[in-house]
Structure 1
């Protein structure tokens, strides 16, 4: 079964300072991510633990097209958001490829009754064939309505991924919004920032391919680390040098395996920036407030209403969070001081000198170790494990 043709997911260039989509000059050719036909199989029987849902196995195909003279971006992220009714919203249960730090061989999988992909050594006894992967890959969003893959050093050509997804049992189609993002050096983009034009299409669930029988329940996979923490960067568009440092920090955190979000990577459409900021700040596990003079001016309400409007939206939400949930906000909102900046450039409502701040001396583990340890939950001095029972002391002689 093929999805309704969705057309290309266009990759364009937009100016970093104005927060709206603008087409780059036609002479700048940066390529495109294009969707291919998808296959949809019903998984039977449906999992007993999800009443009102139907289960599907979906093959996702897409191509990365780049002109011969366009450099390969250091990373590419492709995402698919599934939309449905309020009572039985779509959920992506599992996905392959999974996170990998390097090349992976081609692999076969079966789908068990938990809708999990289980690797199988038998070349003929599998439901899913996943081609080999030549570059690092990370996956985000399992257990939600959106799945995203981030590929390191992607090569132009075709890519295949598989997901298991739950939809309302009576649904005959589901809306899917596809998007892509990546970054290129300023010298290549002439000062513009890469962005995407999301495309929404209808995935037909009725005229599906052959059903797939769920394998007998298998022992759960060994517990691994959960999805990486989601990190949002709140910063002022101070000047090109400051923005470059913020982008360098974001790219470094991505290389550490974190799920990083910033406005530069979310310029795909014109949007209500207050609503966008509210959603980002609520979804983030950690919010990094990047110190700078404009950041403090906005946070302290000392700037013109026409300047830094995006940051003003973010700071208004942060003030409310600090006021209404102070203890949690202190742990979740992290004050970050980049090279050449000062703690005095942190807004006063964030208590720059009475709450911990994190200095980043360089965009490396050594230069940002304290910040990385907090974001990844790895303390420098783990508490020693004690015995199961409290020590028993004999009485002293009388």
Structure 2
């Protein structure tokens, strides 16, 4: 199936009657992310450092469609993980930026990087952005763009475009992708819904690109644009105290995401059924930092005084954290105790050393209030100690 056939994923809210694994939550669809026709160009003149590979310059067109009367959207993210892991994305634009950006044109270098040029005849053109755009994809097996609303008016519906350089084994005729979508609407107080991620698989033809105009890579000096630098990945560990607390945690995750970080939280997990303890172990080990959200239940579980059988998620996650910390005590600097509005430092579990190590009090869910936390994360080399990341 090809993007021009109408590939898309719905923007879906579910009520808060349970996790996605339940059959009970009611779904409400109020829009969609849909792909338009992609343009795939074969690339000639590639540097000899890519033997046996074929390069393709790909323009990605996608539409954000929001139904009339739907809530405005704080941000939306569209992603394209590769299903064939012997292929890779080696460059992507637009680049990540925390401020609106002017229109930019690029040429393609022999090293398969986008080189900014002041040339209206250049093949690659990126229109101006009206808000921050963050890009994730340093691993090369996926690429994601996060569009953030510039104000309370929400992200603009309509058409967007991006470009990637795709490197595949020579002779490959088709490339499989997964289209992923995440978003955060600005819901009214009291609305008992939250968004869920959706995805679908599709493929693009690479043989048809032989009928597209050939792109000749250019011999250009100077710095080019490849993949973005890795964004710090932050796993968020928290107890499901009540809906008010859960919303604060989601808003905190949004602040990290809008600041260019890559937060991981259970609400973003897609799928009909999940082994949550295995998911937590994998996410914690793959994270650069772990943010532990203080709360009464978090403290009780962390200190062994919680006697109920409820809250299996926080019990599993803190169990993993305690065991890893026992084996790697130097990891403690990558555990970030967070105190959100409504909680206090007394809600931090003792094993996180609330009196003798830093903790981060967020008195309001604003960018200013997390600035100290962001500086700490950006000034700390991400954890590299597991030995098998």
Superposition TM-score, scaled by structure 2 size: 0.85
Alignment-derived partner of residue 149 in structure 1 = 145
1:198 partner SS: strand
Distance 1:106 1:347, change over 3 A: same
Instruction: Encode CA deviations 1:105-132: one digit per residue, 9 max, x unaligned.
Output: 33321111221111221211x2212233
Between the aligned partners of 2:343 and 2:276, the Cα distance in structure 1 is: 26
Q: Is the 8 A contact 1:197 1:269 kept in 2?
A: no
Any unmatched runs of 5+ in structure 1? 379-398
Deviation of the 1:267 alpha carbon: 4.3
Q: Is the 8 A contact 1:198 1:268 kept in 2?
A: no
Between the aligned partners of 2:335 and 2:221, the Cα distance in structure 1 is: 41
Any unmatched runs of 5+ in structure 2? 150-154, 381-389
Larger Rg: 1
Between the aligned partners of 2:168 and 2:225, the Cα distance in structure 1 is: 27
Deviation of the 1:147 alpha carbon: 0.8
- C-alpha root-mean-square deviation of aligned residues, in Å? 3.0
Q: Is the 8 A contact 1:4 1:204 kept in 2?
A: no
Between the aligned partners of 2:37 and 2:160, the Cα distance in structure 1 is: 12
Distance 1:3 1:63, change over 3 A: closer
Superposition TM-score, scaled by structure 1 size: 0.83
Q: Is the 8 A contact 2:96 2:135 kept in 1?
A: yes
Deviation of the 1:202 alpha carbon: 1.8
* Residue from 101, 109, 113 that aligns with 2:110: 113
Instruction: Encode CA deviations 1:333-392: one digit per residue, 9 max, x unaligned.
Output: 1111223323332334433334332222223455344322202229xxxxxxxxxxxxxx
1:31 partner SS: strand
Instruction: Encode CA deviations 1:226-261: one digit per residue, 9 max, x unaligned.
Output: 443222211111112212222232222233332222
Instruction: Encode CA deviations 1:183-230: one digit per residue, 9 max, x unaligned.
Output: 123428931111232001122222213331111142224999944322
Alignment-derived partner of residue 344 in structure 1 = 346
Alignment-derived partner of residue 38 in structure 2 = 38
1:146 partner SS: coil
Deviation of the 1:148 alpha carbon: 0.8
Q: Is the 8 A contact 1:16 1:264 kept in 2?
A: no
Instruction: Encode CA deviations 1:124-160: one digit per residue, 9 max, x unaligned.
Output: 1x22122332222111113421111111222111111
Between the aligned partners of 1:210 and 1:377, the Cα distance in structure 2 is: 45
Deviating more after overlay: 67-76 vs 129-138: 129-138
Q: How many residues align?
A: 373
